Amino acid sequence: MTKRLPHPYGRLIDRTKKIQFSFEGKIVDGLAGDTVATALLANNEWLLSRSFKYHRPRGVLTLAGQDANTMIQLPSNPNALADKELITEGLEAKGQNYSGTLEKDRGSILGLFSRFLPVGFYYKAFFRPRGIWEKWAAVIRKKAGLGVIDQNISPSYYDKQYKFFDVVVVGGGPAGMQAALDSAVDGCEVLLIDENPILGGSLNYSRFDVEGCQGQLIRQELISAIEAKNNISVMTDAVCNGWFADNWLPVVAGNRLFKVRAAQTILCTGSLEQPALFHNNDLPGVIMGSAAQRMIHLYGVYPGSAAVILTGNNDGYGVALDLHDAGIAIKAIVDLRDKPIYDAIAEKAIDLGLTVKTGYAVYAAHHKRTRSVKSVDIRKIIRPGVCEEIGDIIDCDVVCMSVGYAPAYQLACQAGAQLSYNDTSAIFTLKHCPSNLQLAGSVNSLWDLDEVRSEASRAARIVTKSLGFISETEGEIISSAKPSPNHPWPIFSHPKGKEFVDFDEDLTISDIINATSDGYEHIQLVKRYSTCGMGPSQGRHSALAAARIVAWATNRSVAETGVTTARPPFSAEKLGLSAGRSFYPKRLTNMHTRHIDAGAEMLQAGAWFRPAFYHQGKLDNQSCINNEVDNIRNNVGLVDVSTLGGIDLRGPDVAEFLERFYTFRFKKQPVGRARYALLTNEAGIVIDDGVACRLSEFHYYITATTGGADRVYQSMLKWNSQWRLDLDISNVTSAYCGINIAGPNARHVLTKLQSDIDFSSDAFPYMGVRTGVISNIPARVIRVGFVGEIGYEIHVPQLVGEALWDLVIEAGHEFGIQPFGIEAQRILRLEKGHIIIGQDTDAMSNPNEIQMGWAVSRDKPFFVGGRTISELERKPPLRKLVGFLIDDLNSPMPQESHLVLDGTKMTGRVTSCNYSPTLKKIIGLAYVPLEKAESGSTIVIKSSEDYSVEATVTELPFYDPKSLRQEL
Amino acid sequence: MSIADPTTSARRSPLTHWHKNNRAIFTMIGSSSVVESYEPKDGSIDEQRQAKELAICDLSTLPRTGFKGQGASMWLGEQGLHLPSSSNSAVIQSSGSLIAKLSDQEALILSDIFALSNDVGNLVNRSTSDHRELTQQTYILPRGDSHCWFTVTGSKASEMFSKICAVDLRTHKFLLGSVAQTSLARVSSVIIRHDFGDTPCFYVLSDISSAEFLWDCLLDAMYEYNGVNIGINALQSLIDKH
């Protein structure tokens, strides 16, 4: 039955709004603002889930979303944290990692065999025989798993957003609020981030004075001041999940990843209360003192009816007072300190007559049938970590631990701060932060409220001064006058073990010691060998204890031992946050709609979308492609070549530049002529090709391959930054659209267009270039022969591309002009024996291997790759790109990259292969060894279906060897 | 004057068909076919009000050009144009056109949204008629075709941009006349702050082949803030009132 503390307890709940949800199939009543965990606690349900390894019952530990004890299964969200997940009407929640029921988990039997499952068990047990791990892995993973992923889930919408601030303050507790306020007063734009639903941090639940009202008064004062400042932005329910160079901060809020840039960062991330280690310290009902205070103050929940406080500082007495005020019986305050120095709060607790046992420890906790704590065994401490043989049993239903804190050092360490430890005071300190990052509050080992606020103000002055908002000095560094709240050794080994160091991975004191005994003495090796700190809570509650135990086991100080590296993300981050709203630009030509309207099947080439072929009624794809080929060979077609690279080179030194950049000669190239341009890199490898069109003495228009255009342009810029030639290089790929009109009727179509260009064979020969207008559209026209027929490439400004397409289609209507795609173009060029760079070449192809030696000028003083090519030419090539024919049309058609074999030896590979509708044969290109390169040689090609086919090496081109078609 | 079919004009925005599919009404601004406004699908959309809050308008067919080279700045000055003193800034000419200086050797010239200025046409004609590239190392760039041109307007524009752009475009940081050469949704873009009246406005010039992709990205990012596509009438009204 639900029972709550009266108002003003329960700061986060709305008592007027009742919400019903289910847990493990049972209906649970809660209130708006409740988390799953607090709603269950209000119904006296402690058991939330089962542990990872031994399936031990687990409940709330921190009530701050910092531990893995509260991981539950939601329908579409495994590993949800029950102490962070707000309840909603009808929510269906379940525990995780159990066989049978959460109450009666068959997997818990594993706990009985824990002595046979020592640290490093998997390494030791499944090392031999070979392959044994693969057999066991599935069984083990099924037993030791986390939540279940719903693979049928519809993805949610995730996205990202940038934010920019002068100062970002991480942590909205007293230090963070003060730092944000002071920074804003000085004029900075400030972002204040807190992971909780409301600002205030410990002010919301901790006891700072005897009356227990100071926290709220200060919180109200600070919040009012913050709200009055319009240059402070506040993000609650937001987690800063890492620190990256130059104060790049990923902040997760809901389904959005904010990429925050800060000129200065102030970390007020606070500190994390640490557990004590004793037998059964993981039982439901054994919680942090701060967790009990959160239950009371934030949710109005009774932590129990009879409490034992285990403390090593005065904060535990504050917890006792809070519980006492809420009407919960304090069975004992068990103080680890032999001679404590009390503050006013502790003295108040003593004055109230609460039972205090100084110099005692909770040695063990015992559970009842409901799996939660029913009593503790407290014993007198003889020396650190060792107790008397006999103790007292105290009945209780909640144990609150207040034995010390570790700073939330993760972000600071990611920024380069060094964590050090004082073995005497048991306090961590962070040093050597970068100049654009400051610390304030308990992360900086300050706990007194006045000291915290003063230090926060000082941090604000440092950052505002560095940003030029103020000129005054920042003031003196504050040293705490308060004694350390950290007990140096809240660790009590038990003969029966089960004193958990790492709750995520079910690691006990003996596991850590055994890791060091196995030779893994370095804390980083202990982590990897034992998996301590590798679970979902990333060592937040185990790093300090593990360091202490390793230090003890290896006879070193904790300072010498150190702690493990804390890498981002700070808390679990959904993959959707990284994956969501990613951008993959698409590039379309101006004629794209025309292609779609004509039935094009589009193909993606890099970012470009190009027509592969055009559907023709119910014809199958290959028939459509073959028809497109036939139409080019016998009539006329047009293809969109807008994706080809286009580069304008202008200036007095343009010809000299091309001489150096490409393999051919260009200085004597006449104006109005185009020339094939082959590009090699310094290693003499062919990396691109195109056509160099001389539009005027000092103006060339260069085309490049679709995929290589940007690389060619960048390469040109790079080389000319060395050569310093007088020319301008402009990438105009997107500025021009291009159409190739090809086929025996191409000229007839063009002459139907109104143009000042004479398209006759004499006036406009093969590889000629003309500029003019076509139907008032300015155009650059190149007579080309890539597909082996008379053809004209018309390049026009991008915005008139569609209009040109329409004009050509209309002009060609009477000739039956049809568009063709790149599949047909590939066949056409293959018939003509033209290679495609990137498909028929690889990272080793030099010009001679691919029968392009004719495109290399050897009497130039220099060109990129020239020296290497001349060296390569001294030796016979090892392979050659040749054409091959397969007469038997029933043979399986080889595919690209199929191997050429000599017996069982691989000697080459196929680069292109297709059925030629013109020749009615299978034709292709392949790299073969030199001895097989002669025309008439037989090569054997192994298909991927484990089938070999014989092919005959043939002279190139396959079609129109005298190029008569291009001279029509 | 409204026109029925934008494809009667040879120069067509890469978004022409998108506009048609979204019930655009076209008009001629100078010799350019642009969207005047959109017929609302359901209910009425006040495009003028939207322009003040968050909206996007396609200006890709309006005149623009570019020049680069060692002599470009001097030559443009000789043509009576006033260039910004520093790179990555833009200034309005007395004719209404805008010149953005992208580097010491490169400038971008944009028409006004009424296409009243002849600066672009005049510069193109003069440049091509006297072989500038040889005599003064001034090379014309086909910016009218290499880049699409959008205008994003309204008080929420900066916030919207922060979803797809890593540059701080908040109006008190990215001041009037500022130019950012950056990436929008991974598309290389030039962003120019050029307010209309008291409404924050940003010209966006990006690779024209990615125009449709970027348009979709911008509309998707604007959806959260109720931003919509508008025609040029609403843009012009921002200036009329002032």
Whether B2 shows a pLDDT value over 80: the answer reads no
Which H or E run includes A589? none
All domains in chain A, ordered by first residue: 12-110 (3.10.20.440), 159-272+407-466 (3.50.50.60), 275-403+488-496 (3.50.50.60), 499-572 (1.10.10), 875-968 (2.40.30.110)
CB within 8 Å: B173 and A164: yes
Confidence of residue A399 (pLDDT cuts 50, 70, 90): very high
pLDDT digits (tens, 9 = 90+) for A22-53: 999 999 999 999 999 999 999 999 999 999 88
pLDDT of residue A910: 97
**Phi-psi map region of A523: left, alpha, beta (phi>0 left; psi -120 to 50 alpha):** alpha
Whether A796 shows a pLDDT value over 80: the answer reads yes
Is there a domain that residue B41 lies in?
no
Asked whether B174 and B159 are in contact (CB, 8 A), the reply is: no
CB within 8 Å: B170 and A734: no
Instruction: Select from B145, B158, B173, B174 the residue whose CB has the most chain A CBs within 10 Å, as the one to mutate to test that interface.
Output: B145
CB within 8 Å: B173 and A593: no
Confidence of residue A180 (pLDDT cuts 50, 70, 90): very high
pLDDT of residue A887: 87
CB within 8 Å: A261 and B168: yes
User: In 3-state terms, what secondary structure has residue A108?
Assistant: helix
CB within 8 Å: B147 and A734: yes
Question: How far apart are alpha carbons A613 and A668 in whole angstroms?
Answer: 40
Range name among A429-443, A606-620, A926-940, B38-52 with the lowest pLDDT average? B38-52
Range name among A21-30, A196-205, A808-817, B33-42 with the lowest pLDDT average? B33-42
Task: Tell me what percent of the residues of chain B surpass a pLDDT of 90.
Answer: 85
CB within 8 Å: A587 and B213: yes
Number of CB atoms found within 10 A of residue B112's CB = 21
Question: How far apart are alpha carbons B8 and A943 in whole angstroms?
Answer: 53
Task: Tell me what percent of the residues of chain A surpass a pLDDT of 70.
Answer: 99
pLDDT of residue B241: 42
- Return the residue of B nearest to A582 by Cα: B185
Mean pLDDT of A788-800: 97
Question: How far apart are alpha carbons A69 and A47 in whole angstroms?
Answer: 10
**At CA A44, angle to CA A41 and CA A48, rounded to 5?**
60
How close is the nearest chain A Cα to the Cα of B80, in Å? 24
Of A587, A650, A803, the CB nearest to B210: A587
Across the A/B interface, how many CB contacts are shorter than 8 Å?
117
CB within 8 Å: A161 and B162: yes
Tally the domains of chain B. Answer: 1
Is there a domain that residue B58 lies in?
no
CATH number at residue B111: 3.30.70
Which H or E run includes B220? helix B211-223
Looking at residue A721, its amino acid is: S
* Three-state helix/strand/coil letters over B85-146: CCCCEEEECCCCCEEEEEECCEEEEECCCCCCCCHHHHHHHHHHHCCHHHHCCCEEECHHHH
CB within 8 Å: B61 and A593: no
Range name among A243-257, A308-322, A848-862, B122-136 with the lowest pLDDT average? B122-136
Whether A932 shows a pLDDT value over 70: the answer reads yes
Asked whether A226 and A236 are in contact (CB, 8 A), the reply is: no
B2: Cβ contacts below 8 Å, ≥ 6 apart: B25, B26, B27, B36
Q: What is the pTM of this model?
A: 0.91
Range name among A664-673, A725-734, B130-139 with the lowest pLDDT average? B130-139
Is there a domain that residue B100 lies in?
yes
Residue with tokens 């342009």: A713
pLDDT of residue A580: 85
Whether B179 shows a pLDDT value over 90: the answer reads yes
Whether A967 shows a pLDDT value over 90: the answer reads no
- Candidates A888, A870, A907, A894; CA nearest to A944 is A894
Mean pLDDT of B24-49: 89
Measured in whole angstroms, the distance separating CA A690 from the mean position of its chain's CA atoms is 38
Whether A255 shows a pLDDT value over 90: the answer reads yes
Whether A145 shows a pLDDT value over 70: the answer reads no
pLDDT of residue A147: 84
User: In 3-state terms, what secondary structure has residue B216?
Assistant: helix
pLDDT of residue B132: 54
pLDDT of residue B129: 63
Interfacial residues of B (vs A; Cβ cutoff 8 Å): 7, 10-14, 16-17, 60-61, 68-69, 133-134, 137, 139, 141-142, 144-147, 162-166, 168, 170, 173, 185-187, 207-214, 217
- pLDDT mean across residues, chain B: 92
Tell me, what's the ipTM?
Answer: 0.96
CB within 8 Å: A802 and B165: no
Is there a domain that residue B13 lies in?
no
Whether A692 shows a pLDDT value over 50: the answer reads yes
DSSP state of A157: P
Of A585, A800, A806, the CB nearest to B187: A585
Among positive and negative, which fits the CA dihedral A531, A385, A67, A433? negative
| Segments forming the whole domain that contains residue B128 | 65-143
Is there a domain that residue B74 lies in?
yes
Asked whether A402 and A385 are in contact (CB, 8 A), the reply is: no
Looking at the complex, does the CB of residue A732 fall below 8 Å from at least one CB of chain B? yes
Mean pLDDT of B206-230: 97
CB within 8 Å: A588 and B209: yes
pLDDT of residue B182: 98
pLDDT of residue B242: 43
Mean pLDDT of A701-728: 97
Whether A780 shows a pLDDT value over 70: the answer reads yes
Of A650, A699, A732, the CB nearest to B142: A732
Question: How far apart are alpha carbons B69 and A528 in whole angstroms?
Answer: 59
pLDDT of residue A477: 74
- Return the residue of A nearest to B168 by Cα: A164
Is there a domain that residue B69 lies in?
yes
Using DSSP, how many helices (H) and how many strands (E) does chain A show? 23, 48
Measured in whole angstroms, the distance separating CA B211 from the mean position of its chain's CA atoms is 12
Confidence of residue A462 (pLDDT cuts 50, 70, 90): very high
| A residues 557-596 closer than 8 Å to B (CB) | 581, 583-590, 592-593
Is there a domain that residue B35 lies in?
no
Mean pLDDT of A167-186: 96
Assigned token pair, A1: 């039955």
CB within 8 Å: A798 and B145: yes
CB contacts, 8 Å: B186 with chain A: 583-585
CB contacts, 8 Å: B139 with chain A: 648, 650-651, 728, 730
Is there a domain that residue B231 lies in?
no
Longest dimension (CA), chain A: 116
CB contacts, 8 Å: B170 with chain A: 164
A293: Cβ contacts below 8 Å, ≥ 6 apart: A205, A206, A207, A318, A319, A322
Assigned token pair, A82: 């029950």
CB contacts, 8 Å: A774 with chain B: none
CB within 8 Å: B142 and A797: yes
Assigned token pair, A680: 């090699």
Confidence of residue B130 (pLDDT cuts 50, 70, 90): low
What share of residues in chain B are helix, strand, coil (percent, to 5)? 30, 30, 40
